[in-house]
Amino acid sequence: MIGTMLGNRYEIIEKVGGGGMAMVYRAKCHLLNRNVAVKILRDELISDKDLVSRFKRESQAVASLSHPNIVNVYDVGEVDDLYYMVMEMVEGKTLKKIIKEKGALHQEEIAHYSKQIAQALKHAHENYVIHRDIKPQNILITEDHRAKLTDFGIALSSSTNTLTNTGSLVGSVHYFSPEQARGGYTDAKSDLYSLGIVMYEMATGKLPFEGESPITVALKHLQEEPEPPSNINTTVSEGLESIIMKLIEKDQVSRFQSASSLIEALNQLETDPGYVLDDITDEIDENPTNVNGYSESEGEELRNMPVKKTTRKKKSNNKTKAVLAAGVLTALIAALLFTFGLFYVSNLFQSSEEIDIPDLVGMQLEDAQAALEQLNLQHRIEYRFDVEGDENTVLSQNPSAGMSVRENFPVELVISTGQETDEVPDLMYQSREEATFRLEDAGFVVGEVERATSELPSGSVISQNPRAGSALVLGGAVDLVISDGPEYEVVIMPNLVGSTIDSARQTLQNLNLNIGTIREESSDEYVEDIVLQQSVASGREIPEGTNVSLTVSLGIDSPQIEEPEIIEDEPVGEGTEPEPGEPRTRTLQIGPVGTSGIVTVELYRVEEGSDTLIFTKTHNIDEEGNTLQASVTGTGTQSFRIVIDGDTVQRVEVNF
C-alpha cells in the first residue's frame, strides 16, 4: 500500500494505525501539498455490504459537520473496490493513551477536554447526527491540548424514525448507554451518557463497569450503580462528581437533556470551583427520536416524568420536604424503569424455544456462519491479528458453546486475520546500517546477509528478499545482498619511497598499477629523482588499475666533499720500489663528510659493467671528526666513487 496513489492525488506514505474495520495511513496530497490521513476499508471486509454501508455512512455523517473539535473530512472515494476517506491529519495522542500514561487527570484538564467534546457533540446533534460510539479511543488530543472527535463509523441521523439496530448491540460496551445495551432507542442523551463514562474514567483512571464478557458489562450498565468517583479519587470535587453522576443516570430523562446544558454546567464549574448541581431541571427535549417499542404517547409520558434531583445540603425544612417528595417520586419511577428493564432484558435472553449455541472455535468463518444461519442465530464479527490462528478461523465466541439463547440472538465471533503484517520498506542502494535501521523501525529484522561483486558502491544493498512493498509478518526477517564493489584482482602496494622514479615506474607497471600525478619538491634527505612519498600506503590491498601518485625529490644540498688528497705513496713491499706497471697503494683523505652525527662512507672502484666496493666505514663525525682516510691500490689511472649514506657525492680519478 505504501507508495499507492489514490485518485491521482493522495500518495500513501506510511501506516499510522488501524482497527478491526479500517486502516489509517499518512498520505501526501499533491494538489494542496499537505499531509492528510487516509482511512481505507480493510480488503477482507469489502464483500460485507453492511460494513461498506457503515463506512460510507461515516463519510456522509462527518462530511456534513464542520467544527474545530471534530476531525474534518476532505474527500471520499472508491478505486477498484478500495473504499477510502481523506481526513485532517491530527498530530497528537488519543485521550485513552493520555489516561493510561497519567492515570486520573486534574479537574481543570477534565473540564477543559469535556467542554470541547460537548461542543463537538452540540454541533453534531444540531445537525441531526448521533455519534453512538463516544469513547477516549475516538478522541484525539493535539499538542496544543485541543480535543477532536473522530470515528463516526456507527453514527446515524437523528431525523430518521428508528435508531435501533435490531438483534445487535451498537457501540463500545464499556461506554455505551443502557438504551444501547437493551437495543433500544438512542438519541443525543445517549452520547451524553457515553461522555459521562469518559469523564468518569478521566477522573478516576478506571472504568465504572468491568466484566468478563461484553454481555456482563452491558447488564451492569442496566442494573448496577457506579461507585462515586470521589470514593476512588479523593481529589474529585463535589461539583465535578455531581455533573458526572447526572450524565450517567440510567434514565434518559434524568440526564442532561442537551450538550448545551452540560457546557453551561462545566462553565460554572470552571469559574466557581465550589459549584455543585442543585435541583437542576433541564428543558425536556422537544424533538425526541421516535423509536421501536415506544409510541408517541409513551414517549410523552417518559418526557413528563420529573427529573431526578440531586441535592447535597439541607437548606430548610421546606427544602427537606421537597427533597423527600422528589425522592419518593424518583423511587417509584426507578421501580417502574427497573421492572421494564428486567422485562426487556429477559426477553433478550429468553424465548419460547431456546437454542444451544454450538462450538465454533477453530471453524472457518464460512462454516461458522452457515452453522449459525441453520439455527436462526445472528452474528457479529470482530477481526483480530493472531500469531497462531489460521486466517479466517474463529478464535473465540461469545456466548460460549453450550449456552442457551433465544432465536436471532447475536453471537459474537472473533476471526483471525492471521499474523499481523506490514509492507517491507525499500532498502535498495542504502548502506547496511541505514537498511538495518529502517527494517527495525518498520518492525522487521535483518535476515541472512550475503555479499556479491557489483558495479554499485561497496557496502550498499543491491538486493532484498522479500522485495519492497511485499506484505511480511511483523518480526519477520528480510534477507539482504551487500555489494563488494566491482570484481577485480588485488595486489599488495609496495614501498616505493627511496627508489628512483624510473624504478618506481617499472615496479608499478609490473603490478598493473597506474602512475597518477607526479609532484616534485625539495628534500633535505633524498637526492634528485628519488621517491619521497606515495599516495597509497605500502602493505595495503588495492585493485589492479589503481592510480598511484608520487612525490619526487628535486635534490638535496650534498656535503661539499673536497678533492681527495693523496697523503703518501705506500710501497707494495718493504724496502722495495715498485717496478713500472706494478700495483701501487695510495692513501686518500676524504672529507668533510658532514657536520655531525653518524654517516656510512663507502668507496667503489668504477669498473666496466659494475662497480666494486673496496672500502666501507661507519663514521662518527662528533667523535672522529669530519674527515677520514682510505687506502686504494691499483695501476695506471682508475676512477673511484665516494658514497655517503647511500648517495654518490663525488667521483675521483687516481693516477697510480
Q: Residues with catalytic annotation?
A: 133
Would you give the DSSP letter of residue 284? P
Name the DSSP letter for residue 129.
E
Cα-only R_g, the chain: 48
Q: Quote the cell numbers at residue 338.
A: 427497573
Per DSSP, the residues of 222-245 read HH-PPPPHHHH-TTS-HHHHHHHH
Peptide bond into 592 cis (omega under 30): yes
Angle, helices 95-102/188-204, rounded to nearest 10 degrees: 20
Ordered alpha helix ranges (H), 75-143: 95-102, 107-126
Give the residue among 640, 602, 604, 633 at the shortest CA–CA distance from 619.
602
Number of residues that make up the chain? 656
β-pair type (445-452, 477-483): parallel
Locate 17 and state its grid cell: 494505525
Select from 144, 134, 58 the least CA-distant residue to 96: 134
Write the CB contacts of 420 (distance below 8 Å, at least 6 apart in sequence). 385, 473, 474
Enumerate the β-bridge partners of residue 92.
142
Dihedral Cα 271, 273, 279, 283, nearest 10 deg: 40
The grid coordinates listed for 340 are 421494564
Q: What angle do CA 358, 362, 367 make, to 5 degrees?
A: 65
The answer to whether 205 and 233 have CB atoms below 8 angstroms apart is: yes
Q: How far is it, in rounded angstroms, from Cα 231 to Cα 282?
A: 27
Cα separations in angstroms, 442 against 271, 435, 472, 473, 478: 48, 11, 11, 11, 11
